Amino acid sequence: MTVTLADVAARAQVSPATVSRVLNGNYPVAATTRERVLRAVDELDYVLNGPASALAAATSDLVGILVNDIADPFFGIMASAIQSEIGGPGGRAGGERLAVVCNTGGDPERELTYLTLLQRQRAAAVVLTGGAVENEPHAAAVAAKLRKLGEAGTRVVLCGRPPAPDTRAIALTFDNRGGGRELTEHLIGLGHRRLGYIAGPEERTTTRHRLEGHRAALAAAGIEEDPRWTVHGRYDRRAGHEATLELLRRDPSLTAVVAANDSVALGACAALRESGLRIPEDVSVAGFDDLPFSIDAVPSLTTVRLPLAEAGARAGRIAMGREEPPPGGIAVVRGELMVRGSSGVPRG
Amino acid sequence: MTVTLADVAARAQVSPATVSRVLNGNYPVAATTRERVLRAVDELDYVLNGPASALAAATSDLVGILVNDIADPFFGIMASAIQSEIGGPGGRAGGERLAVVCNTGGDPERELTYLTLLQRQRAAAVVLTGGAVENEPHAAAVAAKLRKLGEAGTRVVLCGRPPAPDTRAIALTFDNRGGGRELTEHLIGLGHRRLGYIAGPEERTTTRHRLEGHRAALAAAGIEEDPRWTVHGRYDRRAGHEATLELLRRDPSLTAVVAANDSVALGACAALRESGLRIPEDVSVAGFDDLPFSIDAVPSLTTVRLPLAEAGARAGRIAMGREEPPPGGIAVVRGELMVRGSSGVPRG
DNA sequence: AGCGTTACAGCAAGCGCTTTCTATCCAAGA
DNA sequence: TCTTGGATAGAAAGCGCTTGCTGTAACGCT
């Protein structure tokens, strides 16, 4: 039925071992023999049995990429960059590897399950992107899993995620706190004193860090924060829309709205506009990430650019062992403040 | 070193066969025995060896999802929907399956290579999303691959892609032609007579179909198309930006610009605005797909909504054999015209 | 000419699991 | 009481490939 290595060997009049070596190319095989084998492979339309090789060689060419939400360009961009370096087909890396993008949907359970599945497949490497969930038992479970993976020889890289202590995981962390702080400082510098903040889901490192940066800026400027000024929501436009309406209801005198990310900011803009408020004349808006569409917003969005593609590419290279991990296994990737049209001097 | 089935068996004082049966749960095992095995699994922290089971059982639980560009929400949304139905962790489907998202980057080579890789892994199913490349040799190669996959028992589903004749592939095709036509008819109905069209990359079915729909509408209205009115480019905002500038240069009298998709339309809006033109007073703009950000554009984008998530979910269910394929193996998914602020009556 | 080398090619032993077939035990029917 | 059969558990034969080790020519050296 299905063509096996043995069939190819028979056809090429060589031993299965030789066929295997031709296909894997890490053992000297005479040119003429190789040719004969290759011809047989072609004629029989032979395709290697992945599981069988993985089993025999005790290694696989799967690389897992965990993302919170694959429909969100934030992750899409990172995944794309990682994948291009994994050297899947087209990448310059020799061995063809299958990059597996796993969508956790931000659910801790699924994250863990995917990790187990990857472990089961004996993945060559795993890259976890995006913020982690801040929930002690879960964090411990993930750390344990990562440790296991590391011990089993799977390279683990965290991209845009805080370091995981006691694991061999390499971490490329985004400086969310610093970015958040810089952003709010910019707004304060423009004269804003009453700033609403639309945070992401609670229990997320990303959410917390950005918010902490924001608060640090307020504190540094001697602005006392009103608890009504912070609203939590998901990382999408809809949440931004609703949260903004809520913010406006709580305190109509706000002159700026800082959003957890660009999508949220977009929703905020829509809500403000619907409320008859002009941006930035009446209310300034700021986002985070600088996704491609942010520059096309009207007015274009003031935000913090995160080098998603660069970080992803680097994570990918490290995962493939093609780049030295940063000293200490941890590198902080900084964001860059992008001042654009959505932020301005507050009215009156 | 690594814990194997045999280790668990030894610890639970049963045979490996029994452990396997407990883990796969398709054979009667006494409750007490099962419990004992499960405890051993837990104590030893045992994780099944995926490749080994796949080899022994001659099946795998991998499901491949091919996308053109994972950083593009168009694909992200579909992939997300497909994945949720694949029943990866969290899905209600029993067996835990690993959904593999493969990023072809729109490159025919890579598409083929990924298909081979998936074939090599003996994937349980494969879903190909997005338009196909219109290049005879390549199309034939893909069709051959799909046929092979089908014969090997892999379920193949095309989502948002034209049918592949002579294969067992189930196709959920988007009615790009109809949508394109409806969109342009809307514009013509508003009074537009000189419409620029920013098409996607050449040699793509999606590109051609949308363009054909556009032209059909023009023809039906008796409008003779000026060849200068069409420009090709990639499916991103940058291409839209550049193409619009080019269009304006070629014919400043255009009153509408129809874009290949929403991202392109966003770029077009930016270019128009930079050129001092108001939307829709001076020039109307229309997109395609209705991605989430389209409604937040200013003005919000007139576009054709494609039920990406629904189609993806359906494709996923069909791939898992949880839903009957459409009669004839082909279903056409229609888009819905969304008239919004970016289209209006032409000036003068 | 004799012998150590080098360069290939083949043998065969697994890799860790699934599954068919067989053995065993015990309750129930004759 | 003996038989029959249902319910479990085990033995063992692979699944298709990789790889360490073992040949075996052909080559070059002294």
Distance between CA A148 and CA A151 in Å, rounded?
5
3-class state of residue B309 by DSSP: helix
- With a 7 Å cutoff on the CB, does A58 touch strand C? yes
Contacts of A83 in chain B (CB under 8 A): 70, 103
**What is the per-residue pLDDT for B91?**
38
pLDDT at A222 exceeding the cut of 70: yes
Name the minimum distance, in Å, from the CA of B103 to any CA of chain A: 7
- With a 7 Å cutoff on the CB, does B53 touch strand C? yes
**What is the per-residue pLDDT for B95?**
57
Cα angle: B43, vertex B44, B48; to 5 degrees: 125
Name the minimum distance, in Å, from the CA of A128 to any CA of chain B: 15
Reported pTM: 0.92
Minimum Cα–Cα distance from B104: chain A residue:
A89
Cα angle: A242, vertex A246, A247; to 5 degrees: 115
Please state, for a pLDDT cut of 70, what percent of chain B lies above it.
97
Q: Are B55 and A55 in contact (CB under 8 A)?
A: yes
Distance between CA A270 and CA A273 in Å, rounded?
5
**What is the per-residue pLDDT for A105?**
87
Give me the total of CB pairs closer than 8 Å, taking one residue from chain A and one from chain B: 191
What mean pLDDT comes out for the span A324-328?
Answer: 96
Burial A43-76, CB ≥16 within 10 A → b, else e: eeebbbbbbbbbbeeebbbbbbbbbbbbbbbbbb
Short-list B219, B282, B230, B284, CA closest to B260: B230
Inter-chain residue contact A90 with B109, CB threshold 8 Å: yes
CA of B29 to C1' of C26 (A): 16
- Protein-contacted positions of strand C (CB under 7 Å): 7-12, 14-20
CA of A227 to C1' of C4 (A): 86
What mean pLDDT comes out for the span B152-167?
Answer: 94
Give me the residue from A55, A112, A266 closest to B293, CB to CB.
A266
Give me the residue from A45, A98, A121 closest to B117, CB to CB.
A98
Inter-chain residue contact A120 with B71, CB threshold 8 Å: no
Distance between CA A127 and CA A20 in Å, rounded?
30
Q: Given the DSSP bridges, would you call strands B303-305 and B336-338 parallel, antiparallel or unpaired?
A: antiparallel
CA pseudo-torsion sign A100, A101, A104, A106: positive
Contacts of B76 in chain A (CB under 8 A): 70-73, 75-76
CA of A17 to C1' of D27 (A): 25
Beta bridge partners of A199: A232
Beta bridge partners of A133: A204
Short-list A128, A126, A127, A60, CA closest to A95: A60
Contacts of A72 in chain B (CB under 8 A): 73, 76
What mean pLDDT comes out for the span B283-288?
Answer: 98
* H-run or E-run covering A246: helix A237-250
Amino acid letter at B15? S
Q: What is the DSSP letter of A329?
A: G
Distance between CA B262 and CA B288 in Å, rounded?
5
More confident residue, B296 or A8: A8
Distances (CA, A) of A51 to A6, A195, A274, A335, B22: 16, 56, 56, 42, 22
List pLDDT tens digits, range A84-139. Answer: 998 654 433 345 788 889 999 889 999 999 999 999 999 999 999 999 999 999 99
Q: Measured CA to C1', what is the nucleotide nearest B3?
A: C16
Q: Are B313 and B80 in contact (CB under 8 A)?
A: no
Name the minimum distance, in Å, from the CA of A178 to any CA of chain B: 26
Model confidence at B92, pLDDT cuts 50, 70, 90, reads very low
**Can you give the C-alpha Rg of chain B in angstroms?**
25
CA of A224 to C1' of C9 (A): 80
Give me the residue from A84, A120, A237 closest to B47, CB to CB.
A120
Q: Which two tokens stand for residue A329?
A: 């296994």
List pLDDT tens digits, range B210-252. Answer: 999 999 999 999 999 999 999 999 999 999 999 999 999 999 9
Amino acid letter at B142? V
Contacts of B116 in chain A (CB under 8 A): 47
List pLDDT tens digits, range A15-71. Answer: 999 999 999 988 889 999 999 999 999 999 999 999 999 999 998 989 999 999 999
Contacts of B52 in chain A (CB under 8 A): 51, 55
Minimum Cα–Cα distance from B149: chain A residue:
A47
Inter-chain residue contact A103 with B88, CB threshold 8 Å: yes
Minimum Cα–Cα distance from A119: chain B residue:
B47
Distance between CA B84 and CA A162 in Å, rounded?
27
Distance between CA A332 and CA A156 in Å, rounded?
17
Model confidence at B88, pLDDT cuts 50, 70, 90, reads low
Please state, for a pLDDT cut of 70, what percent of chain A lies above it.
97
Q: Are A230 and A260 in contact (CB under 8 A)?
A: no
Model confidence at B90, pLDDT cuts 50, 70, 90, reads very low
More confident residue, B86 or B313: B313
Model confidence at B118, pLDDT cuts 50, 70, 90, reads very high
Inter-chain residue contact A50 with B51, CB threshold 8 Å: yes
Distance between CA A119 and CA B50 in Å, rounded?
9
Q: Measured CA to C1', what is the nucleotide nearest B54?
A: C17
pLDDT at A168 exceeding the cut of 60: yes
Model confidence at B105, pLDDT cuts 50, 70, 90, reads confident
**What is the per-residue pLDDT for A164?**
94
Q: Are A82 and A76 in contact (CB under 8 A)?
A: no
- With a 7 Å cutoff on the CB, does B52 touch strand C? yes
Minimum Cα–Cα distance from A83: chain B residue:
B103
**What is the per-residue pLDDT for B97?**
85
Minimum Cα–Cα distance from B2: chain A residue:
A152
* H-run or E-run covering A64: strand A62-67
